[in-house]
Structures are given as structure tokens and as C-alpha cells.
Copies of this chain bind each other. A is one copy, B any other.
Amino acid sequence: MESTTITAQQALEAANEAAFLTNNLWILVATVLVFIMHLGFATLESGFVQRKNTVNILFKNCMIIAIGLLTYCLCGFNLMYPGEEFAGSFFGFSGFGLNPSKADLTSAYGNYTYWSDFIFQGMFAATAATIVSGAVAERIKLESFLVFATFLVAICYPITGMWHWGGGWLAEAGFYDFAGSTLVHAMGGAAALAAAIILGPRLGKYTPKGIKPIPGHSMPLAAIGVFLLWFGWFGFNGGSVLSADAASVSLVFVTTSLAAAAGAVGAFFTGYMLFKSHDLSMVLNGILGGLVGITAGADQMGPMAAIIIGLIAGIIIPFSVVFFDRIKIDDPVGATSVHLVCGIWGTLAVGIFGAKAGLTQVGIQLLGVLAVCSFSFAFSYGLMSLIKAIMGIRVEKREEIRGLDTAEHGAHAYQVMETATYTSIK
């Protein structure tokens, strides 16, 4: 009799362990997908900059993922998720060690291990800094940017993240941001805006004769970037379910994809209306806009709401890009339009289409957006100003004209001409 009872309990425990295995596995697979978004950003940004700054942007993106993971490990993770030891609602810090005890290793949250949690969140944290990299491209000093990125990931991102995901005051206020339209994208976009303002535009961009278009040097690289970002977004949004829950994750996949698709269509038509040609860079950014837009409510929307959110995000993109150019804020890749503007739109959309849709929720969403963006903007403005005063932030005029590749790296991204080959092509 007793043995029967025990067996049934054992069986239940085994079943729960099997579910835990699957839930944890999904967080890890999602981590891999979020990781490859860094290649997406690297190729997107290098495609959208000029040939002479390609090595520089690749170098920055390699270092950002490295710095992002290390600083999040050293500091950010525990600042953001203070756990039981300390949980103030504005700042948290539980102290940290690089070698957690064996207890930490085996301790598991509901659906995944401590380590899965860290590495998934670490990949997220690193994306916040990457968003800035595109907006300041082609003119910022490499070291200055790396210092900026380090502090952004180490301090600013975890603090605002803690407000909602760490159980802080925004969580208490009823703010909802599923996977980070505000906490990752608008936060990074506001930092990008602050940095772009302090840096000023690229030489020759805004002239008395008008705005000079500076097209990116490789559309294939840019397109590869957008597809990889969409690919990774399945992990970014899907992993944010924080389990492999079948209903939630599959719904998130549908809403994420439909919003991205609608973003392309929205940008297709608006881009054609504004520019009278089929502008690939608008469609690419339209897809990203749709993805950023759905991120805040990807688990709460039906297909129709997802399509509307993505479509509007796609429509916003060309207008936003034109707007920032009009006010002479130079953002070579459109990061501010994609991440800040569509991030804000997506966060507000939760108040319009989400589970608790209504004016009150719109108000709460607006409060969250304002709080996070203001903090991020102010933090970034202050930090960038400090770095400017101490070590300078902008490369010399001569270097900017020559290109950062030769100036900072002594290298070219491409070896176009080899005497023998070149002759034989002719």
C-alpha cells in the first residue's frame, strides 16, 4: 500500500522534473536566439554605415557583447534582480560573487535554473547598449563609446529594469511591459538620442543646401541583420514567457511574426507615399518597428491587434526618420525611430489593446514610458557629457573624413583591388 503511494508521488515528481527540463531548455534555446541578435545588430549597423567605418562598427559590436556579459555578471544582474536579500523598489543589490556557492548552482526558480536566468538576462542587457551603437556610428571615439556602454549596462539598464521586472515601483503601479518595448528598446533608444544630441551630426550631413543622404554601404548586410533580428526575436519575446508554456509561447510567436509582417507592409506603403520609390531601408526598419512595437504586449494580443500594432509601427517609421532628420538629429541607422518611437508606441498599445485596456492603463503605461525614458535620457546625457569632458567623444575631423577604419583600426573592411584578380576581371 505505502509503496504504491510513494510510487505515485515519485511519478508526479518525475513528471514535474520532465516539465522543468523542457521549461529550462526553452530558456536556454531562447538565450541562443537572443545571442544571435548581436550578429543581427552588427550586420544591420555595418550595412547602414559607410564602407570606411565598417571595421569600426563590427569592432564595437564584438566588444559590446563581451562587455555587456561581463559587466552584467559583475554588477547588473544582482542590481536588477535583488532577490530576497534586498529589494528596495528603486535600487536593489544583493552583493555578488563571481563564484556563487553550490547552493546557487542547484537552486532553481520555478521553471529554470539560476544560471539559465543569468545568461538569458545577460543577453538582454547587452542588447540595450547595442541599440546606442548604431545612432552614434561613424563619428564617436571607440574607447569613449565602450566606457559609455559599460556604465549603461552596469547601472542604467538594471535600475530601470528593476522598477518593473525586479518587482520595483512600476510593477506595483500596474505598468505592463512583457518583453521590453520600454525597458529594453525605448530605454536604449532614449540613451541613443541623448548620445546623438551631444555628439552632433556627421560632417556634411546637414548643409545650408539641405539634408544630404548618406546611404549605407551594403544592403545585403543590412537585410541579413533584419532577418537575424526577427529570428532572434522569437527568443527575445518567446523566452520572456519564462517557461515553455505551450499556449503562451505559441501565441507570442504568432503575434510577433504578424506584427513584423505588418510592419513591413506599413513601411512599404508609407515609404512609397513619401519617397515615390520602394525604399528597402524603410521596409527593413518597418519590420524592426513592428517587432519593437509588439514586444510590450506580445502575450496579450490576438492576431488582429498584433497586425494593427505592427502596421502602425511600420507607418510611423518613415515619418519618424524624416522628423529626426528635420530637427537635425543624425542617426545613421534609424535606431531612435525603431527603438525609442516604436518602443513608446508598443508600450502605449498595451493600454489600448491589452488585457486591461482602458484609459487608466494607458495612463500607467505613459507614466512608465516617461519614467524609464527620462531616467535613461538623463543618465546617458550626464554620462556622455562627463566622458566628453574627461576623454573626448568625437574623433577628429580629419579622421571622420578618412573613415574610422583607418583612423582607429589601421585597417580596411574590404580589399577591393588585387592587381592580378582585378586585371583579369577587366
Residues of A whose CB lies within 8 Å of any CB of B are 1, 4-5, 7-12, 14-29, 31-33, 35-36, 38-39, 42-43, 46, 50-52, 54-55, 58-59, 61-63, 65-70, 73, 98-100, 105-106, 108, 112-116, 118-119, 122, 142, 215-221, 223-224, 226-228, 230-231, 234-235, 238, 244-247, 249-251, 253-254, 257-258, 260-265, 268, 275, 277-280, 283-284, 287, 302-305, 307, 401-403, 405-406, 408-418, 420-421, 424-426
Q: Name the distance in Å between A257's Cβ and chain B's nearest Cβ.
A: 6
A287 to B275, CA, bound (A): 41
Question: With A5-B4, A231-B35, A280-B409 known to touch, is A219 a contact of B58 (CB < 8 Å)?
Answer: yes
Residues of B within 8 A of A4 (CB): 1, 4-5, 8
Give the shortest distance, in Å, between A25 (CB) and chain B (any CB). Answer: 5
On chain B, the residues within 8 Å of A275 by CB distance are 410
Are B416 and A279 neighbours in the complex by a CB distance under 8 Å? no
Query: Shortest Cβ distance from A351 into chain B, in angstroms?
Result: 18
B99 and A51 contacting across the interface, CB-CB below 8 Å: no
Closest to A408 in B: B278
Q: Is the CB of B420 within 8 A of A402?
A: yes
Oligomer: number of copies: 3
Give A235 Cβ to nearest chain B Cβ, in Å: 8
The residue on B at minimum CB distance from A226 is B62
- Which residues of chain B are near A421, meaning CB under 8 Å? 50-52, 402-403, 405-406, 412
Chain B residues closer than 8 Å to A106, beta-carbon distance: 247
Known: A62-B280, A66-B260. A221 touches B219 (CB 8 A): no
Residue pair B98, A302 in contact (C-beta under 8 Å): yes
Q: Which residues on B sit within 8 Å (CB–CB) of A18?
A: 15-16, 18-19, 22
Chain B residues in 8 Å Cβ range of A401: 420
Chain B neighbourhood of A260, CB < 8 A: 66
Chain B residues with CB under 8 Å of A215's CB are 411-412, 415
Task: Give complex CA distance A31, B233 in Å.
Answer: 13
B279 engages A70 (CB within 8 Å): no
